[in-house]
C-alpha cells in the first residue's frame, strides 16, 4: 500500500502501542505530536475496529468535524506500521473528537519517522 508522506511527519514526538494486543485489545497506536504553535503536544489514537480505522484526538479542527494534519500524519503511520495486515488497505477512516490520556502500560515503539522522546519528556506526558 502506497500513501503519500505527510508534510508534518517531523512533528511526531513518539509512537506508542498497548501491551498484549489481541482480539479484545485491537491493533492500536498512540502518537504524540507537537501542536502547530509548538507550545504543547497532542496525543492521537488510531485503532482498527470492525473494518474501520478510527482516529481520535482533541483539537479545534476535529471538534468542527474537519480532519487536520494530526489525523493525516497518524493515519500514515498507522498504515505503515500495519501494512502487513491486508484489511488495513481497504479500511474506511473515521475521525472522532476524544481526549486521549497517556497510560502507563503504553510501550514506545521504534519508528523510522520519529525522533523519539527522552525520559523527562516521557514523564511529562504521563503526568
Q: Is the pLDDT of residue 100 over 70?
A: yes
CA distance 105 to 54: 20
Per DSSP, the residues of 19-68 read SS--SSS-SEEEEEEE-TTSSSEEEEEEEEETTEEEEEE--HHHHTT---
Cβ proximity of 6 and 33 under 8 Å: no
Tens-place pLDDT, residues 44-90: 999 999 899 999 998 877 666 666 888 899 999 999 888 888 899 88
Q: Whole-model pTM?
A: 0.78
In the chain, where are the structural domains located?
A: 9-118
pLDDT tens digits along 1-30: 456 788 788 888 889 988 766 655 678 999
Supply the pLDDT for residue 11: 84
Q: How much is the pLDDT for 9?
A: 82
Within 8 A by CB and 6+ apart from 100, the residues are 30, 43, 44, 45, 56, 57, 58
pLDDT band at residue 116 under the 50/70/90 scheme: very low
Amino acid at each position: 500500500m502506497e500513501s503519500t508522506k505527510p508534510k508534518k511527519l517531523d512533528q511526531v514526538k513518539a509512537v506508542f502501542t498497548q501491551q498484549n494486543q489481541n482480539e479484545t485489545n485491537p491493533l492500536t497506536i498512540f502518537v504524540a505530536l507537537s501542536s502547530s504553535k509548538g507550545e504543547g503536544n497532542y496525543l492521537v489514537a488510531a485503532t482498527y475496529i470492525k473494518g474501520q480505522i478510527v482516529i481520535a484526538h482533541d483539537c479545534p479542527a476535529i471538534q468542527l468535524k474537519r480532519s487536520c494534519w494530526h489525523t493525516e500524519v497518524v493515519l500514515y503511520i498507522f498504515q505503515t506500521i500495519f501494512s502487513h495486515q491486508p484489511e488495513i488497505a481497504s479500511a474506511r477512516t473515521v475521525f472522532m473528537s476524544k481526549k486521549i490520556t497517556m497510560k502507563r502500560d503504553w510501550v514506545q515503539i521504534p519508528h523510522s519517522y520519529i525522533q523519539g522522546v527522552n525520559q523527562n519528556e516521557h514523564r511529562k506526558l504521563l503526568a
